[in-house]
Structure 1
Amino acid sequence: MALELRWDPAPSDWSDALRAVYPMYRWAPWFGIGLGALAVVLLVAGQPVPGFFGVLCALIIVAMPMVAVWAQFRRNPVAAATVTATVDEQSFRMMTVDGTAYTDLRWSTMAGWVETRHNFVLRTGGSALFPVPGRAFGEQEDLDGFRDLLRQQLGEPSKR
């Protein structure tokens, strides 16, 4: 089985991948909402300084992961380049259309994978993540074939 994929990366792909793999990104919005609720209680209780400080901190906590991903995505000129990929039983090869970046990921070097609602997230043994969005697949059969290939090469998906 060989697949040809193509997609335009988006910051939401990276945010989704980070939330799937790192608990800090997954739980930050909930922590911010909880802190914001406590800050509102302080405001209602007549404590404006700690209340406003709590609201400000809550907004920062909720926004920080999204802003960090957006800033990193905009800072890296290769991040937004259209990606093509070839997938077979030996490896997953990605290249930008303009040829500025190339990655050959052998299945034997991969640590695992996670499937989210929008992406497949391939993980190496280190901290590298490779989100492959569902929109990269032309047909449902291709998406199902890719999932089957991942199970064959890497085992079952990791739990989030």
Structure 2
Amino acid sequence: MLPGDPAVGKSALAQMFRSDGAHFQRNYTLTAGIELLVKAVSVPETSDSVEFFIFDSAGKDLFSEMLEKLWEQPNVLCLVYDVTNEQSFNNCNKWLEKLRAQAVGVHIPGVLVGNKTDLADRRVVEQEQAQEWAEKHGLEYCEMSVKEMKNFEAPFHILAKLFHQLYKEKVETFHSLA
């Protein structure tokens, strides 16, 4: 899942990742619903890979019902906020609560992503603050600038590693039952 407020860079991140950093779309229209992107990702430090089905959603509450249907079986989470927009960071609580309400009793690993680090002079959410919030909620943390194509692959590599670990744990559980 790729939730977050409108205009934090979720779609730009997804598109940049899908195109392997081929281009940053400067003239961008806001996502008008939910888009599905599919891509295989190598798991760091292994010879394995995972295939991601990335649900990029419009950040409006209007799409909450559609998202809730998709959130019934999420595996990993990539929660995105804008480092220049304190409200988008504060709303991470809302997005995480919605997800966890749909997956009661299930641990969903994920990563909190601070985007738009290229706008350093407009930054209002400090890295330490976001890192602390992520740790408190059991998430990894990274920052990036999709516009400058800096670190945009990092969240997906983190997610690949988290998903792979989750998969290995499930396989071990299955084998212990046999």
Q: TM-score, normalised by structure 2?
A: 0.28
Of Structure 1 and Structure 2, the greater helix share is in 1
Which protein is bigger by CA-based radius of gyration? 1
Of Structure 1 and Structure 2, the greater strand share is in 1
